[in-house]
Amino acid sequence: MAATRRDNRGIVLEKGESQDKSGKYRFRYYDDTQQAHDVYSWRLRPEDEMPEGKKPGPSLREIEKNIQKGILDDLKVWEGNVTVNKLVEEHIRMQMPYWEPATLNSTTSVYRVHIKNSIGKKKANKVTADMIETFYNNMLNDKEKPVKIGMVESVNKILNAAFNLAVKRHLIRNNPVTGCVGAVKRKNDIEETIKHSLEDSQQGKLLEFIRNTPKYACYYPFFYILAWTGCRIGELLGLTWYDLDFGQEIISINHKITYTKVDGYYQFVLGQTKTVNGNREIPMLADVKDILLELKQAAGWAKISMIGKPELSVNDTRPFIFTNSKGKLIPQVTMEHLLQRIIRDYNKQNVDKIERATPHTFRHSFCCWLCENVAGENSMDDIKYIQSIMGHKDASTTLNIYSELRKNNAKDKHTALKLKARKA
């Protein structure tokens, strides 16, 4: 029978426990490959006092209890001390083959600026929900460089993916990021951002302003087509003459262009649409066909055969419909900044101000217009039809995010419902 082992105070040591000459306690356990792992503490039991001058921490038996509980829960506790940085970097490496260059650049930038030198240095199994909430609050309320809630949400998206990876690999029990953004929004009285569309009259007046203002008139075709196709801006900037079928009055959306950093240099990249459903056909509505025919004539493509679409290249800009005065492709940010200048000048001349609009606002407005005007006996078919035109991943996006009623139409519907209620 093995002799009972005791510490320097005569307290019986359990299996795996030992004490060295300095008085520090050690607990040794083995992983599923029988490799030994050690943890240490200056206290054996929770009630023991911490030796003078030593850093406070849990007792050895408290640490043992957590390890044993983790092993029973099938957690790989011996790997749980991996840093958040390592998890994030692993997540980025795993997603790299599937991400567009712009997505990779933005994710890497957010990680480098906001995560790597702060929360990223923490051990994943030591991070709690309270720590995440404090981290987000500090980001929002930093005296020198406060950020907006949108950046916090971007950080949260990356951390959430990293900790989900840790949960999946049995390194931790739960994802500490879950629910933290909502809690931070409530504590800081931040309301959910509501996506607004332009009223029919607003959009019409804005487009007329663009057409009738000399310095903006040349951009009228771009914004008109943006408004009446619901394209994402990268899709429209990447549109070519080969994507148009004037006989069927159809626009084929099957790619996009982005201007992003690749191998250290900013350049245009030809890529896939945002989702699989992003490959779609859009009808030429309103004056879209006439405007495109005018552009085609002016560009000298009217007599060129459209049979067989060649392999596109950003180095050959001839097939692209929208280029600048030098025949070069246009970065998305250029059109975004241009629209802000247009709205600034529009608001100076109009009482009905446009508070905020981006190129994506036209897409939102177009979807609202479809929701209000595509009406038939089978409403589910109508939603699926709208989804196909918009290129949404699923119908819930169309229903929950984009089918916003404009104020005036909501009032009309309220009136109609009241009349029906009276008759009932």
| pLDDT per residue rounded down to tens, the chain (424 residues) | 567 889 999 999 988 899 999 999 999 988 777 888 888 999 999 999 999 888 888 999 998 888 777 776 666 666 667 899 999 999 999 999 888 888 899 999 999 999 999 999 999 988 999 999 999 999 999 989 999 999 999 999 999 999 998 888 788 888 999 999 999 999 998 876 666 778 888 999 999 999 999 999 999 999 999 999 999 999 999 999 999 999 999 999 999 999 988 888 889 999 888 877 789 999 999 999 999 999 999 988 765 666 667 788 888 888 999 999 899 999 999 999 999 999 999 999 998 899 888 999 999 889 888 887 876 545 767 888 888 898 887 777 666 655 555 555 656 666 665 665 565 5
In 362-385, which positions are buried (b, 16+ CB within 10 angstroms) versus exposed (e)?
bbbbbbbbbbeeeeeeeeeebbee
pLDDT at residue 231 in the model? 95
> Whole-angstrom Cα distance, residue 401 to residue 20?
63
Residue 83 DSSP one-character state: B
Helix (H) / strand (E) element for 418: namely helix 407-423
Q: What is the pTM for the complete model shown?
A: 0.71
How big is the CA angle at 48 (ends 47 and 50), to the nearest 5 degrees? Answer: 125
402 contacts: CB under 8 Å, gap ≥ 6: 195, 364, 367, 368, 371, 390, 392
Written as six digits, the tokens of 39 are 């943890």
Strand order across the 36-41 sheet: 17-19, 25-30, 36-41
pLDDT at residue 208 in the model? 96
First to last CA, the chain: 90
Taken as a whole, the chain contains a residue count of 424
In terms of Cα–Cα distance, which of 360, 141, 342 is closest to 232? 360
CA 158 to chain CA centroid, nearest Å: 9
Written as six digits, the tokens of 317 are 């800009």
> Whole-angstrom Cα distance, residue 66 to residue 69?
5
> Whole-angstrom Cα distance, residue 47 to residue 65?
15
Written as six digits, the tokens of 331 are 């970065």
108 contacts: CB under 8 Å, gap ≥ 6: 92
pLDDT at residue 20 in the model? 92
pLDDT at residue 301 in the model? 76
Residue 192 DSSP one-character state: P
Helix (H) / strand (E) element for 28: namely strand 25-30
In terms of Cα–Cα distance, which of 408, 412, 384 is closest to 197? 408
